[in-house]
Amino acid sequence: MSLNLFDLTGKRALITGSSQGIGFALARGLAAAGAEIVLNGRDADKLATAAEVLRGEGCTIHELAFDATDHTAVRAAVDGFEAETGAIDILVNNAGMQHRAPLEEFPADAFERLLQTNVASVFHVGQACANHMIKRGAGKIVNICSVQTALARPGIAPYTATKGAVANLTKGMATDWAKHGLQCNGLAPGYFDTPLNKALVDDPDFTDWLSKRTPAGRWGNVDELVGTCIFLSSAASSFVNGTTVFVDGGITASL
């Protein structure tokens, strides 16, 4: 098998929520594989800072600030970019949020924000990009799921529900769009050291529990997600559709 299957030269990838954390790491990784990168976030200043870092590393970067939960804004941004700059060949739906509270006390407004940020954004951006990909007969969509796609922990039941929904929406995308030449798959990180997990990373008791619970015995490094994302974004996965790949140090495999 040729390594050219993993080459993203000539491709353009939009990664939502990519000014920090997993999204930023995936942007850097896809750029290293040859792709042009379209960074996205709601905070234009954070986006500009992230873009400056990647440009300093020699990456070709575009900035596209929009709120992934706003259907109208998403369509305007994606359609405008396609018309003015060119095709979005790869979409990584990474935008997400967390809120921790006992389920019996979980605030209703926080539940709604989780639904909009973690699920509705995948629909909005996925549909907007797919409408262009379908016309071209090709496209890659990678939806960022979670270890909580398959498992639950106390205090995050609504988050778990949203990530389960993302995996099933991924199956639906593949079912509807595979016939148009699109491959739509999920990438499910385990526990990674990111800003979203800062409260857990800073908790020595949780880190001790995680180290014992995970067969690999440690937190994941965000760079360890890059290889799977390149695979799902490249010709190497041309007949992979509707599946979710867990990158979790073995946590979903063991009791």
* Predicted local confidence at residue 1, as pLDDT: 55
Q: What is the mean pLDDT of residues 157-165?
A: 98
Does residue 129 surpass a pLDDT of 60? Answer: yes
Q: What is the mean pLDDT of residues 34-47?
A: 97
CA 153 to chain centre: 21
Provide the percentage of residues in the chain whose pLDDT is more than 90.
Answer: 96
Does residue 225 surpass a pLDDT of 60? Answer: yes
Answer with the residue of higher pLDDT: 202 or 3.
202
When pLDDT is cut at 50, 70 and 90, the band that residue 194 belongs to is: confident
Q: What is the mean pLDDT of residues 54-72?
A: 98
Active site amino acids: 159
pLDDT in tens, 65-120: 999 999 999 999 999 999 999 999 999 999 999 999 999 999 999 999 999 999 99
* Predicted local confidence at residue 2, as pLDDT: 78
Q: What is the mean pLDDT of residues 123-141?
A: 98
Does residue 196 surpass a pLDDT of 80? Answer: no
Mean pLDDT (the chain, rounded): 97
Does residue 248 surpass a pLDDT of 70? Answer: yes
Contacts of 68 (CB under 8 A, 6+ apart): 16, 17, 40, 42, 74, 93, 95, 117, 121, 124, 125
- Closest by CA position to 193, among listed 175, 211, 181, 176: 211
Provide the percentage of residues in the chain whose pLDDT is more than 70.
Answer: 100
CATH 3.40.50.280 at 8-246, yes or no? no
DSSP assignment of 218-246 equals SPBPGGGGHHHHHHHHSGGGTT--S-EEE
* Predicted local confidence at residue 174, as pLDDT: 98
Could you give the CA distance from residue 41 to residue 195 in angstroms, rounded to a whole number? 15
**pTM of structure:** 0.96
Does residue 255 surpass a pLDDT of 90? Answer: no
